[in-house]
Structure 1
Amino acid sequence: MTSFKDVSGANSTDLVAAVDLGSNSFRMLVAQVVNTPSGTQIRPIDTLRESVRLAAGLTDNKLLGNEAYQRGLAAIRRFGERIRGFDPSKVRAVATNTLRVAKNAASFVRDAEEALGFPIEIIAGVEEARLIYIGAAHEVPAAQGNRLVVDVGGGSTELIIGKGYEPKLLESLYIGCVSHSMRFFPKGNIDAHAFKEAELAARREIQVIAGAYLKTGWKQVIGSSGTARALAELITENQLNGVDDSLSVRRISGLGGLITREGLRAMKKHLLKYEHVNQVELIGLKDDRRAVWPGGLAIMIAVFDELGIESMEVTDAALRIGVLYDLLGRSQHDDMRFVTVEQFMQRYGVDRSQAIRVGKQATEFLTQLPQPSSESRDENVALLQWAANLHEIGLSISHNGYHKHSAYIAGNADMPGFSKNDQARLAALLIGHAGKLGKLANNASFYDWRMLFCLRLAQVLSRGRGNEDFPKVRVADNNGMYSISLSKEWIKAHPLTEFSLQKEAAEWERIGRPYEIILK
């Protein structure tokens, strides 16, 4: 990989940039390329977004009007300053629907390339869909089976079904939040008839592809980028989802939000109380979204209705992330979480030998215990290994109370591939792997006690950080009573470990969980 001057202040010189000239907003992402043993990861370090509303500047004869033309160039000049000096091989700029249809697009692109300092590609709808899927797939939790990704943009809507990182069905429909709002809600006027017409127009477009999509099917639904994120935030902040509000809040801080059919219908009902978009009162409704969200709402309702969707999780990741991964041309690990953990181990200088030592023992102990029918053994083993790999990341901050720092990082950092629930479980294991257990005993939502038992035991036995042969240890869980069996001769030769195990047993007893040490 070619190196060049780091203009961002990041430690690495491996920087890449993606520029997305969308129909509603222009966006730029500057990211650091992090190579780990499990693959390559994009770490965002800077983002820029400007609401240009290029699609609103299209005249009736499909020409980009001068005002929108100049708004776009002004934004691109500012983007150009940010990435000045970047190697051309590390920058990719793409333009989407509005510049696909504008008759004077070639003229705009020439001026825009001069302002940006890099080539700009006008990509086809299907290519846009492919890149959107790649971006979303790299940032959301892994899923078994197919995944449906929906991206309602300013001038087009992309729907993609894929598995893993590979898209299977790709479609780009000529309906978007800006164009739809201009067509059905001119000058911001709202009424029930216009909204019904907007829904039906969107449904007619989706009906063409619905049969093939429903036949292929999916297990997970993801909404990507601006419109989906805006709708999710409005629904959650105004408590329109009709679900447990704490769930919505967790989703917002995890993937980026939750949209339900009930939430969309409640938002539509609220919208139709008003005659103009400027009158609408909603917590969190941003001025730059006010004029275009009715069209986006109508399209999203049509997507839910035609495809029978009940709920959709939302991520910010989409086209820009996909552009960067495509630019790198690297094959990625099947589960992005492994890449993320590897990258965190690098970032926080983890002692790999100790992490492997603890992880190997903890996993061995877990496999000795019966598998609950409601849990996945593979998922639990993976989570336990990730906890072992990351349990000492807090040492990069302070040795005193390092487990608290480890838990805070795991619970609050951006961890691509991990859902909020993944991060919450991981953080709980990290806060509990050392010290007192009372902090988790009072947490009614914590249920990974067996994994915590295995992790704490492995940590105690590996305290010496040596490569000596460990004793053969048998563990058992008898209705919540833990027991460990090991050699009397070995424990006699290791008085510190014996003392630590006795303290461990006392700590579990303190929270009402029996813990027996059997010497043979």
Structure 2
Amino acid sequence: MPLSSILATVDLGSNSFRVQICAVENGQLRVIDSLKEMVRFAGGLDENKNITTDAQERALECLSRFGQRLQGLQTEQVRVVATNTFRVAKNIQDFLPKAEAALGFPIQIIAGREEARLIYLGVKHTQPPTTQNMLVVDIGGGSTEFVIGSDLQPDIMESLPLGCVSYSTRFFPDGKITAERFEQAVASARIEIQRISQDLKQHGWDFAIGSSGSARSIRDVIDAYKLSKHDLDVASMRMIAKKVINAGSTRKAKLLGMKSDRIEVFAGGLAVMVAVFEELNLDAMSVTDAALRDGVFFDMMGRDLERDLRDETVELFQSLYHVDVAQANRVKQIAKQCFAGLSQSLPNSQLQIWNEYLDWAASLHEVGMSIAHSGYHKHSAYILDHADMFGFSRQEQHLLAVLVLSHRGDIKKLVDVVTDEQWWPAVFAMRLAALFCRSRKDLIFPDNTSLYYDAASKTCVLQISAQWLQDNPLIAGSLAQEVLQWHHIQSELKIEAITP
């Protein structure tokens, strides 16, 4: 089969790391390979929420093996998502470059609600068509996602910090399970769920589905003992809990249907699931084999075969924040023209990606005006950094925020914000585009205009008609001020006025 028809996802969960490789045939996915390792990454969080050296080494060894399997695939064929432990670990920024180097692909740390959306997307695509509301509950290693919806775009998405690894570590650290410890775990999870239970109940659902390893492992045990006609119900789960408590540990209970790799985290996941049922007054729940990685695949196929969800999100934000679309399009056009001259030092493989970032940043650079005109670029950056932007990873949102923050104001603020030298051409393109479009009128550069950027010296040379500058005094004055701004960061903007 052609290599171009291959897609791969890597799911870096708090309990296990997984890679799945699929062939796309006539719009359908066919799994051709998968790897899974129980890294127990959440178990490597110390009391200060730092990932321990041992946990980092386990993860890097696993990622190196995954990277070898993914060799030959291009960046656009592989999507890597990291979840709760990557979100909460305080030293994750020190670990992330090592992880990306070991794997050979960029890692996207996705927000809890984005994780919820992707899980729902995977479940929705694998369910029979229905217009009924579906509640999806996914108990992961470090977080649990709750989603309600009937269409491809869900109505409610929530993520809570409770998972099978974190709860097993917290309430059963030595593996011993008593009735008191188990009820403490259930009560703690119920308190967390109470934060969202009212909203979930008010919206309502017609049926519930559980995904992830915890739901599947509980289902398998219930089925092995033939405890219920349902995949999951609270009476059956309480019976299993009693078996484990009477034995003193999950390992000693020797539960039928239990896979060996779930033993250490089973009790934590069971306590969370019991809490879900009791807090939400659930009677029964079916279990699906669909998971986060399936949602990531369908999301990738949506980007390749239909429309990029990120484009839809940008349009939604333009409408939500009453963006002047005509002005956004002007800035977008000029930013791309400027970037064409400024990006000569970037590798060709990066050009398309950066043009997409510029497109989105220019489209959204004025969203902050809905808050206030004064300092609107700061408001815009804050919105893009912190809002739920479906389809975007946290890193992508932060990059857009930096580009938007950079388009006006004191350039010195960017010294500590721009963390990668490859960002500067796009930053300068945004600044120049906003400057040229300040009059909010369509703009055409004279034919002999050229722009060049030398990355080594951080020097930009703009050659432009002297007569055109004379005819556009606002732009000419702004360029003179911009020259001074660049000096503040040991860079240089040279304006060479061309005469016939």
Specify if TM > 0.5.
yes
Q: Does 1:49 align with 2:36?
A: yes
Q: Determine the structure 2 residue equivalent to 1:340.
A: none
Query: Which whole-Å deviations, capped at 9, do the CAs of 1:224-251 have from their partners, x for residues lacking one?
Result: 121111111111112222x3xxxx6xxx
Partner of 2:140: 153
Q: 2:6 matched to 1:15?
A: yes
Q: Following TM superposition, by how much is the alpha carbon of 1:125 offset from its aligned partner in structure 2, in angstroms?
A: 0.6
- Give, in whole Å, the separation in 2 of the partners of 1:67 and 1:203: 32
Q: Find the aligned partners of 1:238 and 1:208 in 2 and give their Cα distance.
A: 34
Distance 1:133 1:218 in 2: 14
Indicate the residue corresponding to 1:294 in structure 2.
267
Amino acid of the structure 2 residue aligned with 1:25: S
> Alignment partner for residue 318 of structure 1, among 291, 315, 320?
291
Map 1:119-268 onto structure 2 (within 5 A).
Answer: 119-241=106-228, 243=229, 258-268=231-241
| SS of 1:316 mapped into structure 2 | coil
Matched residues in 1 for 2:149 and 2:113: separation? 13
Question: Residue by residue, what CA displacement relative to the aligned partner does 1:397-438 show, whole Å, maximum 9, x if unpaired?
Answer: xxxxxxxxxxxxxxxxxxxxxxxxxxxxxxxxxxxxxxxxxx
How many pairs were matched up? 306
Q: Secondary structure at 2:247's aligned position in 1?
A: coil
Q: Secondary structure at the match of 2:227?
A: coil
1:85-96 aligned within 5 A: 85-96=72-83
| 2:18 is the alignment partner of 1:27 | yes
Question: Could you give the per-residue CA deviations for residues 254-296 of structure 1, whole angstroms, max 9, x where no partner exists?
Answer: xxxx112222121112111122333112112222211111010
Map 1:112-511; keep pairs closer than 5 Å: 112-241=99-228, 243=229, 258-329=231-302
Amino acid corresponding to residue 268 of structure 1 in structure 2? A
The structure 1 segments of at least 4 consecutive aligned residues displaced by more than 4 Å after TM superposition are: 330-333
Contact in 1 for aligned 2:234/2:274 (Cα 8 Å): yes
RMSD value over aligned CA atoms?
1.7
Partner of 1:302, secondary structure, is: helix
Higher helix share: 2
Q: Which stretch shifts more, 163-172 or 17-26? A: 163-172
Separation of aligned partners in 2, 1:330 and 1:213: 30
Q: Is residue 71 from structure 1 mapped to residue 44 from structure 2 by the alignment?
A: no
* 8 Å contact from structure 1 (residues 146, 220) kept in 2: yes
**Residue type of the alignment partner of 2:14:** S
2 CA distance for matches of 1:142 and 1:46? 28
In the aligned structure 2, how far is the partner of 1:332 from the partner of 1:208?
A: 38
**1:170/1:227 CA distance change after superposition, 3 Å:** same
For 2:177, the aligned partner's letter is I
TM-score by length of 1: 0.57
Partner Cα separation in structure 2 for residue 179 and residue 124 of structure 1: 18
Answer yes or no: is the 8 Å Cα contact 1:20–1:320 preserved in 2: yes
Q: Counterpart amino acid of 1:275?
A: G
* Distance verdict in 2 for CA 1:285–1:229, change over 3 Å: same
CA contact (8 A) 1:5 1:85 kept: no
Displacement of 1:24 in angstroms is 0.2
Q: Distance in 1 between matches of 2:305 and 2:217?
A: 29
1:170 is paired with a residue whose SS is strand
Tell me, yes or no, if the aligned pair for 1:143 and 1:219 is still in contact at 8 Å: no
In structure 2, C-alpha distance between the alignment counterparts of 1:305 and 1:156, rounded to whole Å: 18
Q: Percent identity?
A: 48
Q: Which has the higher contact order (CA 8 A, sep 6+)?
A: 1
Contact 2:250 2:266 in 1 (8 A): no
**CA–CA distance in 1 between the matches of 2:175 and 2:297?**
36
For residues 329 and 91 of structure 1, the distance between their equivalents in structure 2, rounded to whole angstroms, comes to 14
Relative distance call for 1:141 and 1:332 in structure 2 (3 A) is farther
Aligned AA (2:270): L
Range moving further from structure 2, 268-277 or 291-300: 268-277
Asked if the contact 1:148–1:221 (Cα under 8 Å) also holds between the matched residues in 2, the reply is: yes
Q: Is the 8 A contact 2:208 2:285 kept in 1?
A: yes
Amino acid at match of 2:115: E
Displacement after TM superposition at 1:151 (Å): 0.3
